[in-house]
Structure 1
Amino acid sequence: MNQPTRSLHYFFTGQPFSDGVRTTLAILLPALLLAQWGQFEVGLTIATGAVCVSVTDTPGPPAHRRNGMLAALGLVFGTALLTSVAATSGWLLGLEIGGLSFLLTMFLVWGARAGAVGTAGLLNVVLLLAHPPALGQALSHAGLLLLGGLWYAGLAVVAYQVRPYRPAQQALGECVHALARFLELKARFYNPATDLDDDYRRLVAQQVVVNEKQEATRDFLFRTRQIVNETTSTGRRLVLTFIETVDLYERITVSYYDYRTVREAFGASGVLLEVATLIRHIATELDHLGIAIQANRPYEGPGPDLTAEWGRLQARISTLKADSPAEGSPRVLQKILVNLRDIIRRVGNIRRYFDESLTANAPAPNRAADHARFVAHQEIERQALSQNFTLKSSVFRHSVRMMLACLAAFAVAEWLWHSRHNYWILMTVTIMLKPGFSLTRQRNTERIVGTLAGGALGAAMLWLVPWPYARFAVLVVFMVIAYSFQRTKYVVTVIFLTAYLLILFSFLGLNYLGVAEERIIDTLMGCAIAFGAGYFLFPNWESEQLTDLMAAALRANLAYLRQLASRLAGRPLPPNEYRLLRKAVYVSGANLAAAFQRMLTEPRSKQHRPSQIYEFVVLNHILSSNIAALTDTLRQAAPAVPPFPPESRRALTSALAGLQKSLARIAPAPAEPAPELGPAEPTVPVAPDDKLLLEQLTFLQKVSGDISRVTEVLVS
């Protein structure tokens, strides 16, 4: 199965496609059924309620999804009544839009799902502006919106009750898919023809995706009581397989080497290309496993014999003589071989997911009490709202920005179009304006490009497909595509959403060319308002956030290095404590890399030393990879404690001091005491393994020094 075919399999078996089909059904069925009885407007109102509630149905634990939809139902009903009353006066309507746009955006203080609930309420207000009901019809109209929301929520709950493990399997499959892509990118480092800087950029970008998928899967699995507390094989296999994927990610991450030196030494021999080929084959096998997990079907193995391929590579390396006198022997290739063997073994462990007999008697993973430590908790506290009423709060600044932008959009529509277009301009503003300027700019670009391309696509379909039933089939396909990509590729959503709306307007007897022209003008105006608000009103530049994210990454790596020092001193670390430290390193590194990528999309005048920050991001990745590699070496050597000669002690102490100094420059704080490293053993002969340990610690010392140098430039 080639890459495009695998991508199609992932799409059609993934959560986004399931959500797209469900949203399409929730919108179409009420409108179609009631249209048969001459009540199309009633059906359209019910469909509008379904659309609003669907905004809150983001991936996550079933209880959180249910609570989010219930909150959205109450908010949709309340805002419908309030808007019907406010619509009697333009001044009241403007006051409502200003107040609600601020208040509902402030819901972000309680997290992303609460923010989605606020978005659902604001979307309902905006859609009501198209045809506000008369005051006497306010209650019945709000009831129909509530009915539509209940209809969507019922569909979502029934889908989960019928197939309770599908969302978890889909999340785990996407996690494995992201990990396979990460491993595939690692293969590029062994190709002498690629540019290492470009390889690092790609790898760091994919690290962000892997972390996002792991966090989503962890959140779903460890917050779903039915999965973490039950003893059935399905729930156990899901948890065990996810834990194995996290360990595999660590194993892939620790495989860091001085790739420039490795290429110089072995590039001419051709063996590195063979290493890259084996890594790609492992990644492909992992991708096939991810598809099978996500689709909930048996694994179509056996795949290629990776062990035999590894054996051939081992034989090839054993006969290789290094060309570089600095290397002397292909020892680094032997380390690569050992690492690849372990990766192949762990991929085999993931394959065990499909064998119920193997997992039925496997030891159960730690239960909910332990799993709860690995997920972030955010309580709905009322005081959080008042505590964020300050310009120091990014949520407050964004809420003020949203309020002023919505009022400007409402005023423009009133002044130019006498309220005829106010809902579309307002909708564009509410969707386009994001907390960070980089995302606002990206959304604006995608909205404009998508609207123009979607208008052309819709007009082409109307011209090429004159038959009503064929047009309706195209309409349904476009709806599914539009709602399937709304959380992953926004530009695709805009293209197909615009196209299907034009087809829908043609069914309603409207002049679709006139509608397209109006929508394009309204979209451009809304994008201009959103862009201006994001740039001029309390702008949130990523460079201003990077200092905190860099400090968080340094703290995580410092704690990671301290646990290594404790292990070298002979003190054990409980497995869960180590996993928590490892998770902190991955999350902080991914957050830093994501913010850096967003900064690069901002105006150059707002970017602060991008070259140095990129160097810091790469060095942070190299540091955590090498700490993990050393920790894994010690874990394999347990229970024996390796000798700790003075040279190693000095290198580790210097590395710790370098990181502490870098952290003090970026975020001054009282210094934490360094861990005791234990007594030196100068009389112990330095064995080959000890020499290798010294080399690795010396490299950590060098990386720590490089980070210190970069931070000194950044704060100068």
Structure 2
Amino acid sequence: MFKRFKNIINDTDFIKAWLLLFSIFVPVFFFYLVDAMPYGIAMALGVFLIAPSDIQGNLKHRFYGMVSAAILAVLGSLIGEITQFNLTLNLICLFLFVFFTASVAVYGFRASLVSFSGLLAIVLSYANFSKETGLGLHLLFLGLGCCWYILVSTLYIIIRPHSYIKRQLGNLANKTAQFLVLRQKIIEKPKNLTKYLEKQNQLHIEINELHESLRESLISNRKIYGQSNTNRRNLLIFTELIDIFEVALANPIDYNWLTDFKKTTPQIIKLFSELQSDLAKRLLHFSSYFLSEVKLDKKDGIRLKIKKLRDVLQNDSSLKSDIESKATLKTWFNQEISIYEKLSHIERIVLNLKSKDKLAKLTSKSINRFLTPVDYSFKVYKNQLSFKNIILRHALRLAVLMVLGVIVGKWFALQNAYWIVLTTLVILRPNFGLTKERSVKRILGTLLGGAIAFLIVYLFHDPILFLVLSMLCLVIAFTLIQKNYIGAAAFITLNVVFLYALLQPNVLSVIQYRLLDTVIGASLAFCGNFFLWPTWEHANYQKEVKEAIKGSLAYFNQIRKLYSTKNEVDDEYKLARKFAFITQGNLSAALQRMAQEPKSKQDAYQKLYKYTALNQTFISSLASLGNFINTHKTTQMSESFNFIASSIADNLTTTLQNLEGKSTRLVSKKETESLKNAYNDLSYSLNKLTLTQNETEKIQEAILIYEQMKWLYEISEKLKKIS
């Protein structure tokens, strides 16, 4: 329980929430003491508006992003308040500002949060916070509040420059450990393979996001942090975690074989399962070390498990006559050894022991190649000006719905009608599925928060209690907003009700209008995403499929090159692997989005599911092949291997051409016969090797190469067929 609590208080969102509360509390308390509360509220509003744009990564981009958010916040507040004397003018300005500000999101995730600050500002301008100070002074202190938060959050980074990276490494270790746990569950219950693979796909998406975040933080900020020992160690740990994930993706096992083998020799599979469980627990222990700073336990007991399993594989009588099974198990065993070696390397890095430095040969130019480039030029925006662009359609939809929200609020003279527009803003997303999900969660959270708030306000009448609870609810809400949206919505409602309880006695009406406005705003978002220029996944999924196939082809070509040259893994291999992992994660995300859409819009779901499952299996097989070639001394590449590899590459290329609507040539009978001959040559080499030699390494290589190449070709054929 204590460790879990420590994980929470060390969480990135929790720390950011406390920074937000501190930045709000200080100016409010100061101006309360000097009897100038409206100025404190204006500064607090500035803090609240700019906080969403505070995301980690490249510190230069972070600073310019937050400055841009501050400018948009002041501009949005100015336009919103100065045009309220005329409803028509106000609605026109609202539409134009919302559309152009929301369209800034074409520059990526950071830009979308910068634009959110401006959008939030123009919505909150309808609350008329400038009544007591005048518009000029209100905007001045709002801008000062933005600057104050930039100063506070930047000072925290200067004081604890590596704390964010350490927490992200802990999160990455945790997610990777969960991936290992799913591998173990597949071994224990292979019948539930589909269920576990779906969970792996979700984890794959989350791990990709952490990889990208850490790449930007570790690599782009090297000039600021310098070549410090801490930064270098963090980068080394990150590379080891990426390698562990590649091995975790690798799949040297045919699950049909596993089911049959488990029936005859369950004790061996049990030992593998126990070893995988211990490896996952060890990685979770590293996660706790990074997140909660627990003492690193050097005794893990894994060495004994490895020794026991090695002895069984060498001496078990049932394996002496089954050479293929023994070779498959040996390959599987070597993969677990590879994970353990990487975990041991992380331990040595953490303990500052001497270890082989993988970064020794990497230059700054080489490392920077692993960053995803971001272009903030106007040319990018100009090139995206098309109605086909999802972000621009979303911006147009949002602008129309926010205008409708204001009209509804004015027409029915609702109390705090800007809550309608605010709800629409925070719920509406470019795709229907996420909007629907957030609409339901927002309403449920508001109902829950309203019910709890009513009970507390009804039972207690202490303003100090309401003030303390409102601050705590704000911290909890911002901590949960990315993890549990229902909980976040509930605590936001609690925060709002407690603040209003300090200002007016009739809290019940506040709760009623809060719920009513939330339902109206959520309904607008839901209907708008369905009827106003909707973006359905079946119209766009082929782009993700093509990128995923390109990623698999690039990864396959690098493995083929590695097997041919026998060189060490280079940057080109790692970049191809990164591209394959990211594009597969994007493909899985597209499948999830389509699954959330109405049944009538899921006509391509089965096809997309096949693409996702086949490409995931293809990458898993590639990871197994690449890991084996990288960690073993392999024989010379045969002509048969090269011919089959060319056939696989041709199939993937044909798949891409089919997806792009280009004509493709048919495979001739002669080529089909040549392929059969190549398989026969590989099979003959395998049989000859297992019958005449007792060299385990060569047997392993022969079986793995034959099985994986056969598997890869079959998958590439299926991909070509469904394209």
Fold in common (TM above 0.5) = yes
**2:252 and 2:704 in contact (8 A); partners too:** no
Report the Cα offset of residue 150 of structure 1. Answer: 1.3
Q: 1:496 aligns to what? A: 491
Is structure 2 residue 525 aligned with structure 1 residue 530? yes
**1:321 and 1:329 in contact (8 A); partners too:** no
Q: 1:380 to 1:193 in 2, by over 3 A?
A: closer
* Deviation sequence 1:455-490 (CA, Å, 0-9, x none): 122223334555444444333322211111223332
Aligned pairs (5 A) from 1:417-496: 417=413, 420-463=415-458, 465-496=460-491
Aligned pairs (5 A) from 1:159-178: 159-178=156-175
* Deviation sequence 1:487-522 (CA, Å, 0-9, x none): 333222111111122122112234221101101100
* Deviation sequence 1:363-403 (CA, Å, 0-9, x none): 64624311211111122111333332221221221111111
Identify the match of residue 658 of structure 1 among 645, 651, 654: 651
Aligned pairs (5 A) from 1:269-284: 269-284=266-281
Q: 1:353 aligns to what? A: 349
Paired amino acid for 1:644:
S
Paired amino acid for 1:537:
L
Report the Cα offset of residue 303 of structure 1. Answer: 4.1
* Deviation sequence 1:65-101 (CA, Å, 0-9, x none): 2111111112222222222321221112111111111
Q: 1:41 to 1:311 in 2, by over 3 A?
A: same
- RMSD over aligned CA atoms reads 3.0
Q: 1:233 aligns to what? A: 229
**2:564 and 2:636 in contact (8 A); partners too:** no
Identify the match of residue 184 of structure 1 among 157, 177, 181: 181
Structure 2 residue matching 1:58: 3-state secondary structure: coil
Report the Cα offset of residue 633 of structure 1. Answer: 2.4
Q: 1:333 to 1:694 in 2, by over 3 A?
A: closer
**1:182 and 1:210 in contact (8 A); partners too:** no
Identify the match of residue 667 of structure 1 among 660, 667, 670: 660
* Deviation sequence 1:534-568 (CA, Å, 0-9, x none): 11111111222221111111111112222233334
| TM-score of the two chains, using structure 1 as the length reference | 0.91
Q: 1:273 to 1:574 in 2, by over 3 A?
A: closer
**2:327 and 2:703 in contact (8 A); partners too:** no
* Deviation sequence 1:426-469 (CA, Å, 0-9, x none): 11111111111111112111111111111122223334555444
The worse-fitting range, judged by mean Cα deviation, of 492-501 and 562-571 is 562-571
Report the Cα offset of residue 109 of structure 1. Answer: 1.6
Identify the match of residue 601 of structure 1 among 596, 599, 609: 596
Number of equivalent positions: 702
1:343, 1:482 → 2: CA distance?
Answer: 38
**1:52 and 1:76 in contact (8 A); partners too:** yes
* Structure 2: gaps spanning 5 or more residues: 666-674, 691-697
* Structure 1: gaps spanning 5 or more residues: none
Structure 2 residue matching 1:442: 3-state secondary structure: helix
Q: 1:68 to 1:691 in 2, by over 3 A?
A: closer
The worse-fitting range, judged by mean Cα deviation, of 131-140 and 473-482 is 131-140
Report the Cα offset of residue 691 of structure 1. Answer: 7.7
Q: 2:327 aligns to what? A: 331
Q: 2:672 aligns to what? A: none
Paired amino acid for 2:308:
R
Q: 1:515 aligns to what? A: 510
Q: 2:367 aligns to what? A: 371
1:66, 1:261 → 2: CA distance?
Answer: 55
Paired amino acid for 2:501:
S
Q: 1:401 aligns to what? A: 397
2:550, 2:707 → 1: CA distance?
Answer: 20
1:393, 1:49 → 2: CA distance?
Answer: 32
The worse-fitting range, judged by mean Cα deviation, of 684-693 and 581-590 is 684-693
**2:658 and 2:664 in contact (8 A); partners too:** no
Is structure 2 residue 100 aligned with structure 1 residue 103? yes
2:32, 2:583 → 1: CA distance?
Answer: 52
Q: 1:644 aligns to what? A: 638
Aligned pairs (5 A) from 1:694-709: 696-709=705-718
The worse-fitting range, judged by mean Cα deviation, of 83-92 and 318-327 is 318-327
Q: 1:303 to 1:330 in 2, by over 3 A?
A: same
Q: 1:194 to 1:452 in 2, by over 3 A?
A: farther
2:361, 2:701 → 1: CA distance?
Answer: 35
Identify the match of residue 410 of structure 1 among 390, 399, 406: 406
Q: 1:467 to 1:7 in 2, by over 3 A?
A: same
Paired amino acid for 2:511:
A
Report the Cα offset of residue 164 of structure 1. Answer: 1.1
2:579, 2:326 → 1: CA distance?
Answer: 34
The worse-fitting range, judged by mean Cα deviation, of 113-122 and 276-285 is 276-285
Is structure 2 residue 57 aligned with structure 1 residue 48? no
1:352, 1:506 → 2: CA distance?
Answer: 55
Q: 1:614 to 1:697 in 2, by over 3 A?
A: farther
Paired amino acid for 2:514:
R
**1:105 and 1:119 in contact (8 A); partners too:** yes
Q: 1:584 aligns to what? A: 579
**2:51 and 2:149 in contact (8 A); partners too:** yes
1:508, 1:310 → 2: CA distance?
Answer: 66
Paired amino acid for 1:540:
T
**2:55 and 2:62 in contact (8 A); partners too:** yes
**2:562 and 2:569 in contact (8 A); partners too:** no
**1:570 and 1:641 in contact (8 A); partners too:** no
The worse-fitting range, judged by mean Cα deviation, of 307-316 and 514-523 is 307-316
Identify the match of residue 144 of structure 1 among 116, 141, 144: 141
Paired amino acid for 2:611:
F
1:134, 1:12 → 2: CA distance?
Answer: 38
Structure 1 residue matching 2:481: 3-state secondary structure: coil
The worse-fitting range, judged by mean Cα deviation, of 652-661 and 304-313 is 652-661
Structure 2 residue matching 1:257: 3-state secondary structure: coil
Structure 1 residue matching 2:412: 3-state secondary structure: helix
**1:172 and 1:290 in contact (8 A); partners too:** yes
2:408, 2:96 → 1: CA distance?
Answer: 18
Report the Cα offset of residue 226 of structure 1. Answer: 3.9
Identify the match of residue 27 of structure 1 among 24, 27, 48: 24
The worse-fitting range, judged by mean Cα deviation, of 31-40 and 316-325 is 316-325
**1:652 and 1:698 in contact (8 A); partners too:** no
Q: 1:463 to 1:323 in 2, by over 3 A?
A: farther
1:362, 1:404 → 2: CA distance?
Answer: 53
Q: 2:305 aligns to what? A: 309
* Deviation sequence 1:340-381 (CA, Å, 0-9, x none): 111111111111232235369886462431121111112211
**2:419 and 2:518 in contact (8 A); partners too:** yes
Report the Cα offset of residue 266 of structure 1. Answer: 1.5
Is structure 2 residue 337 aligned with structure 1 residue 341? yes
Is structure 2 residue 245 aligned with structure 1 residue 252? no
**2:38 and 2:133 in contact (8 A); partners too:** no
**1:292 and 1:298 in contact (8 A); partners too:** yes
Identify the match of residue 216 of structure 1 among 213, 217, 240: 213
The worse-fitting range, judged by mean Cα deviation, of 497-506 and 458-467 is 458-467
1:328, 1:367 → 2: CA distance?
Answer: 44
Q: 1:21 to 1:267 in 2, by over 3 A?
A: farther
Paired amino acid for 2:528:
A
**2:47 and 2:145 in contact (8 A); partners too:** yes
2:25, 2:327 → 1: CA distance?
Answer: 64
